Structure 1
Amino acid sequence: MRKFTCVPVVFTLAAVMLTAACASSQGTAATTTGSAGRAAATGNGAQPSQAGRLSVWKSRQLGPVVTDGAGFTLYRFDKDTAKPPASNCAGDCAAAWPPVLADGAKAGRGVDPGLLGSVKRADGTRQLTLAGWPLYRYAQDTAPRQTRGQGVGGTWFSAAPDGTKAKAQAQEAPSEPKDLPALSTVDDKERGTIVRDGKGRTLYRFTKDTAWPMKSNCRGGCLEKWKPAGLVDKKNIKGIDPKLLSPYTRSDGTKQLSIDCWPLYWYTGDEKPGDANGQGVNGTWFTVRPNGKLAK
């Protein structure tokens, strides 16, 4: 009978134990993915968002970006129009991109009150506009100042204070922590101990991957945002059992680091070392514990 494993087959007790561990990890991931799917299937659509007092914060990647009173990024949709103002996002679209209500909206620091207006939606509510463009929140932004909606579908963009699209800024690369091991752990306030690479970047797992057999299902456009983690010198790691680490050969022949048979990635949406903006994206991306399990 043919067997699959993530490391060369060696008929030792250690090899048998590693094989069992890989099979166990896959079972855990399948359960997690199934739970996420059920939650998505039964979840309610997002409700319209209250604007509060708008303000501006300067993103290292995008420059000045408009946020609502709770600090969440506001977006504009290329399929809308500003002259005259009109929203073309309804139904499922509005569930993913909740319209920002005009009622109670105020211009805070950095926002020109003369650019604020409103447009009547099909359901009778009035949506806030900026320079004529209807404004939205993104349901996948789970914390203030996240910009996970930037560039989604090539039509959604963070709103700059003048109503134009916030664009990527030329910037110096953020300084990397010095003297970090090639792979180590860090204590995260929300998720506990998680794994990072030698540049201080948080590493992630993709629940659509498999560990038995080991396989990455992040290909094509997925790789534009999620970069495979490179191999490391096992003598230069801290806080992780080197026996859990192994190389995975991708379809293009490149090597990717895996932990407990799960391929590892870093996220281009993390602006600086220590960021974990990829946590929970699409319900399939999560930070990783030193034992290879998902950190939620």
Structure 2
Amino acid sequence: MKNLFKQLNVMLLLAAIVTISSCGDDNEEAALEAGSMIKLASDATLGDVLTDANGVTLYVFSTDVSGNSTCLDGCLNSWPIFYAAETEIDAELESADFATITHASGAKQTTYKGWPLYYYAPAGDGVVETAGSTSGEGAGGVWFVAKPNYSIMYANAQLVGNDGKNYTSAYEEGEEATAYFVNAEGRTLYIFTNDSKDVNNYTASDFSNDAIWPVYTKSIDAVASTIDASDFGTIDVFGESQVTYKGWPLYYFGQDTERGDTKGVSVPGPGVWPIVNKNTVGAE
């Protein structure tokens, strides 16, 4: 009889362990699913924005145009890293747009279209803002909500020409972080100083030189909130609809192969093909 009771006790103990273990796995899985979900929320002013599973807004940093996080040390107290271990997304989003990088701190960080993602902690104490808030939007002119439909984003980085030299915003050799427009994936946009208002004086009628300075033809949807969307327009260039900014036709540079590259600023000489930003004077 004692042996029978002993066997029963062992069986009950094993059953309890299995049950507890199973519940633990379920809870861990549920927590992972909740923390991994990236959703779209509709903001009355900003439109669709990316959030975590709890509806807390996600942000991007314009100085991260290269795809690496430049928010370091104390910066992270106000802009904590967002990381989803096994990303699940809303049906309206594309899984291929998400990836993972390793922050300089050693922590993992989720990226969207190459932009590292962050939360905003208004008090600078690591406590993130409440769900539905977008109080970090436009902070310092360099922080923006993550959106699925940006056509124009702001970058802020050192200009480096095709000659390998560093340039200032005045296209003189030197060290300076300069703000400039890029597309959603961080590719730099330029204007040509030989163009005139709403006139492309570069592109050949057969587009034989388009590989060197491709025209920017993507329709304008969302732009970074510090940029006036009304400054954009379009012109017809031999059947292609080229985007303009303040009357200047916009181009890429064919040799910009990495995110944030600004090689075109030195071709064929500094300032002939300038970057574009809010300070760009309208074409005449």
Q: What TM-score comes out, normalization by structure 2 length? A: 0.39
User: Which structure features the higher share of strand residues?
Assistant: 1
The structure having more radius of gyration, on CA atoms, is: 2
Q: What TM-score comes out, normalization by structure 1 length? A: 0.37
